[in-house]
Structure 1
Amino acid sequence: MEKTLSFAGVHFTVAFLVGYLMTGSVWVGGALALVEPACNTVAFHLHEKVWKRIERRRAAAAATVGGDALAT
């Protein structure tokens, strides 16, 4: 979770700076800094969870295949 929060902080900062530099508006930069990174941070967290599940399934499948090879 610390990695996710760190990523969020960097993302909020970058989103604000890009919005501000492109428009010159603190309001637009602030809106971008709140909306886009918040959505992206949630997506990143879910993405990490999905990949961990995939990795667990692959490891379990490899263990099963390896265990069957040893039994024969």
Structure 2
Amino acid sequence: MTKTLSFAVVHFSVAFTVGYVMTGSVLVGGTMALIEPAINTVAFYMHEKVWTAIKQDSAERNPVIQ
């Protein structure tokens, strides 16, 4: 979860900066910084959960012989 929160902070910062630089509006930059990264952060978290499940399933199907 810490990795997800760290990603969110970076993403919010980038979204605000891009929105502000492109429009010169703090309001637009702030809106972009709230909406898009919030949705993307949830998507990233779900992606990590699915990715972990796939890796675990693969490891169970193909155990490494030691």
CA RMSD of aligned residues (A): 0.8
Give the equivalent residue in structure 1 for 2:7: 7
* Structure-1 separation of matches of 2:9 and 2:51: 22
Give the equivalent residue in structure 2 for 1:23: 23
Unaligned runs of 5+ in 2: none
Q: Which string of whole-angstrom CA distances, capped at 9 and with x for unpartnered residues, describes residues 9-56 of structure 1?
A: 000000000000000000000000000000000000000000000001
Q: How many equivalent residue pairs?
A: 64
Unaligned runs of 5+ in 1: 67-72
Give the equivalent residue in structure 2 for 1:60: 60
1:58 to partner: Cα distance: 0.2
Which of structures 1 and 2 has the bigger CA Rg?
1
* Structure-2 separation of matches of 1:17 and 1:7: 15
The TM-score, its normalising length taken from structure 2, stands at 0.94
More helix by share: 1
List, as ranges, runs of 4+ consecutive aligned residues in structure 1 with deviation greater than 2 Å: none
- Tell whether 2:43 aligns with 1:43: yes
Q: Residue 58 of structure 1 aligns to which amino acid in structure 2? A: S
The TM-score, its normalising length taken from structure 1, stands at 0.86
Give the equivalent residue in structure 1 for 2:34: 34
